[in-house]
Amino acid sequence: MTAAEIKEAVLEILSDIAPDEDLSNLKEDVSFREQLEMDSMDFLDIVMELRKRYRIQIPEEEYPALASMKSTVEYLEPRMTEVAKKQ
């Protein structure tokens, strides 16, 4: 997947997790926590969804990589090069 496709995939997961949040103005380099009402369970849900949808394993000590959209895409890109875009 390309960086743009990964971003799209993360946005899709976010919209499932936080259906009431407006994601259209999400700033890429500002943390999710500052922009959305997210707690630790929400981040766990992102981890679970990435594993379920794309078979990506993220160990607990690497959860901080999911802080913002920018850091998430940077973290996932090398790990998802072989992953096909979900139809």
Partner 1 sequence: MNDTLRESYDVVVIGAGLAGMTAANTIARAGHSVLLVEQHYKLGGLATWFHRKGGHIFDISLHGFPVGMIKSCRRYWTAEIADSIVQLKHIRFDNPMFSLETTFTREDFSKLLFERFRIPAENVTGFFDAARAMSHLDDQAYTTRRLFEKFFPGRQDVVRLLMEPITYANGSTLEDPALTYGIVFSNFMSKGVYTFQGGSDRLIRLMRDDMRKNGVDIRFACEVQKVHVERRKVAGVTLDGRRIGCRAVVSNANLLGTIFQLVGEEQFDKDFLEEARAVRLNNSSTQVYMALKPGETLDENVCGDLLFSSTAPEFRTDMLLSRAITSRTYSFYYPRTRPGHDRCYAVASTNANYADWADLPPDEYEAGKRNLIETTLEGISKYVPDFREKLAYSEAATPKTFERYTKHWGGASFGTKFEGLAVSRSLPERIAGLYHAGSVGIIMSGWLGAMNYGVIVANDVDAFLMKI
Per CB under 8 A, 47 contacts partner 1:
yes
Distance CA 4, CA 18 (A): 21
What is the nearest approach in angstroms of partner 1 to the Cβ of residue 4? 27
Candidates 7-15, 52-60, 64-72, 75-83; binding stretch for partner 1 (CB under 8 A): 52-60
What is the nearest approach in angstroms of partner 1 to the Cβ of residue 85? 21
The pair of three-digit structure tokens given for residue 32, joined into one six-digit string: 């999710």
Distance CA 50, CA 53 (A): 5
Cβ-based burial of 4 (10 A; exposed 0-12, middle 13-18, buried ≥19): exposed
Per CB under 8 A, 77 contacts partner 1:
no
Residues of this chain that interact with partner 1 (CB under 8 A) are 17, 41, 44-45, 47-48, 51-52, 55, 57
